[in-house]
Chains A and B, each alone.
Chain A
Amino acid sequence: MSKAWQPTADVDSLVKRAELLDRTRAYFRDRDIVEVQTSTLDQYGVTDVAIENVEVPGFGYLQTSPEYQMKRLLAAGMPSCFQIGPAFRAGEVGRWHNTEFTMLEWYELGVTLDQLMANVAALTDYLVGSQPVVTKTVAELLNDTFKLDLHEQNEAHFIDTATEEGLRGIRDFTDALDFLVSSAVAKLDVERVFLTEYPSDQAALARTVRRDNVEVALRFEFVVNGLEIANGYDELRDVVEFRRRCDSDNIRRERLGLKPKPIDPNFEAAMANGLPECCGVAVGLDRLFAIAMGKPALSDVLAFATRVE
């Protein structure tokens, strides 16, 4: 008899998952952050080059994150808020990836990015247990691990180092950089680390600032046991800059043979209307739960994970 009907996670883990979900909500309740629900299906998708929507013909796209709709709520006057719900990313299946996964997305008004990072660390302590946390800029990480100077951006050095580290099929500096950051993270011997100050071309929807004459993105990633858990921004509020970044995404998309995506006009209008100053973060909740339970794969905490053939 085939066992394909059975859940991928055992029932005990799913019961534990329910407790963790409850604790997560309690954390926000105690801090008076409002739980919201937005739609997983929307007419528009994202232009992000490295993220593909699941398309629903005739309806639009399953959302890769609730970011746009939650920011529309903020623009309409919603106070600090969070959401726990499914997000979808086409083509992402593996030990730590599932096309449909659970995202915790939250926005806080009137906090700095450092304060939001402290809150992410506190939530992690609350769910997983306390551990010391290290903060490093991306430039420090690359310099400490590979003696590479991020600001000099010597393309040949980056490509040579990535090749030595085992990467094949490198097209450009961005490929090498993405790979080197993740292999440097894997080599870190600290359990929890915040990476900050991303190169400005990897700002996504974060604000950028000049530091020592270099433009850096006010963005962080939170890595636990070598696994990326959260990605946070000091949120971009400039609609002209937003449009410029979407256009440059679409240019890169076309260059890579990907379909350009229309810019979400509702989100664009909300930004033009005015987004409050805020910081926001997306947390891969299934991963965090797997770490809290000491499980080696997402399929151990998801009732029905996509089976890898």
Chain B
Amino acid sequence: MASYSTNEFRPGLKVLLEGDPCVMMESEFVKPGKGQAFTRVKFRNLITGRVWERTLRSGESMEAADVVERDLDYLYSDGDLWYFMTTDDNYDQIAADANAVGDAKDFLAEQARCQITFWNNNPISVTPPNFVNLAVTETDPGLRGDTAQGGTKPATLETGAVINVPLFIEIGDVLRVDTRTGEYVSRSKQ
């Protein structure tokens, strides 16, 4: 695998740090007037999402990580694995485990086009689209005509996730949900 020297560091570069694939967020050249030059780098670990700060002596290099991002459509889950299909003409299926899917599992709607990060050809993270439509499978009976009150109640979605919804929402309603915040947006027309 290729490697990058500190003078090639730039945001967006994907490298291996202590065995994990990371993306560089920022990199800064630091050097005392009368001392060794360093490069201070902020990384985001692509597996855990955590931010790591490391300083490398200038001239050191880091191994590139074989990381690619691809768009795939979500198909279904058997409880252990989540299955996705490639969007090209091959219709290949790819399975991601719970670690890779992470919190995205709450918002995987069938057919939703997700961005999957692969490391050495294995899926390591799944990002659902910003908005998805999901049906309500369980919630307290709706209070019709009470839309102005602004109160909320919990509702369980088809994925098992529980979100706060307005009081007028009923079982079977399809909701538009913001996957970045996990918040109710609107009742879908579908």
Bitwise, A33-50 to B at CB < 8 A (1) or not (0) is 000000000000000101
Q: Which residues of B contact A96 (CB under 8 A)?
A: 29-30
Q: Which residue of B lies closest to A203 (CB)?
A: B34
- A94 adjacent to chain B (CB < 8 Å): yes
Which of A182, A282, A284 is close to B38, meaning CB atoms less than 8 Å apart?
A: A182
Which of B10, B30, B33, B55 is close to A231, meaning CB atoms less than 8 Å apart?
A: B33
- A92 adjacent to chain B (CB < 8 Å): yes
Bitwise, B102-140 to A at CB < 8 A (1) or not (0) is 000000000000000000000000000000000000000
- A175 adjacent to chain B (CB < 8 Å): yes
**Separation in Å of the A299 CB from the closest CB of chain B?**
13
What's the Cα separation between A95 and B29 when bound, in Å? 7
What's the Cα separation between A35 and B34 when bound, in Å? 25
- A304 adjacent to chain B (CB < 8 Å): no
Q: Which residue of A lies closest to B58 (CB)?
A: A91
Interface members, chain B 11-59 (any A CB < 8 Å): 28-38, 52-58
- A115 adjacent to chain B (CB < 8 Å): no
Q: Which residues of A contact B183 (CB under 8 A)?
A: none
Given A91-B37, A92-B37, A309-B10, A50 contacting B56 (CB threshold 8 A): no
Interface centre among A50, A169, A174, A228 (most CB of B within 10 A): A169
Q: Which residues of B contact A97 (CB under 8 A)?
A: 29, 31
What's the Cα separation between A231 and B28 when bound, in Å? 22
Task: Indicate if the CB atoms of A204 and B55 lie closer than 8 Å.
Answer: no
Interface members, chain A 91-106 (any B CB < 8 Å): 91-97
- A168 adjacent to chain B (CB < 8 Å): yes
Q: Which residue of A lies closest to B53 (CB)?
A: A166
Which of B32, B34, B53, B60 is close to A169, meaning CB atoms less than 8 Å apart?
A: B60
What's the Cα separation between A204 and B33 when bound, in Å? 11
Q: Which residues of A contact B33 (CB under 8 A)?
A: 221, 228, 231, 282, 284
Task: Indicate if the CB atoms of A168 and B35 lie closer than 8 Å.
Answer: no
Task: Indicate if the CB atoms of B57 and A170 lie closer than 8 Å.
Answer: yes
What's the Cα separation between A231 and B31 when bound, in Å? 13
Q: Which residue of B lies closest to A171 (CB)?
A: B57
What's the Cα separation between A96 and B39 when bound, in Å? 12
Give the number of chain B interface residues (Cβ < 8 Å): 21
What's the Cα separation between A65 and B37 when bound, in Å? 18
- A154 adjacent to chain B (CB < 8 Å): no
Q: Which residues of A contact B53 (CB under 8 A)?
A: 166
Bitwise, A174-198 to B at CB < 8 A (1) or not (0) is 1100110111000000000000000
Which of B30, B36, B52 is close to A174, meaning CB atoms less than 8 Å apart?
A: B36
**Separation in Å of the A298 CB from the closest CB of chain B?**
11
Task: Indicate if the CB atoms of B32 and A168 lie closer than 8 Å.
Answer: no
Q: Which residue of A lies closest to B52 (CB)?
A: A166
Given A95-B28, A97-B29, A166 contacting B34 (CB threshold 8 A): no
**Separation in Å of the A274 CB from the closest CB of chain B?**
25
Task: Indicate if the CB atoms of B30 and A166 lie closer than 8 Å.
Answer: no
- A78 adjacent to chain B (CB < 8 Å): no
Which of B7, B29, B36 is close to A179, meaning CB atoms less than 8 Å apart?
A: B36
Q: Which residue of A lies closest to B36 (CB)?
A: A178
Task: Indicate if the CB atoms of B29 and A175 lie closer than 8 Å.
Answer: no
**Separation in Å of the A27 CB from the closest CB of chain B?**
22
Q: Which residues of B contact A228 (CB under 8 A)?
A: 32-33
Task: Indicate if the CB atoms of B38 and A231 lie closer than 8 Å.
Answer: no
- A202 adjacent to chain B (CB < 8 Å): yes
**Separation in Å of the A45 CB from the closest CB of chain B?**
15
**Separation in Å of the B36 CB from the closest CB of chain A?**
4
What's the Cα separation between A165 and B34 when bound, in Å? 21
List residues of B whose CB falls within 8 A of some A CB: 7, 10, 28-38, 52-58, 60
Given contacts A166-B54, A221-B32, 14 further A-B contacts (CB under 8 A): A50-B36, A51-B34, A93-B29, A94-B30, A166-B53, A166-B55, A167-B57, A168-B60, A169-B56, A170-B57, A178-B38, A181-B35, A221-B33, A231-B34
Complex A-B, nearest 6 residue pairs according to Cβ-Cβ distance, in ascending order: A94-B29, A178-B35, A169-B60, A178-B36, A169-B57, A166-B54
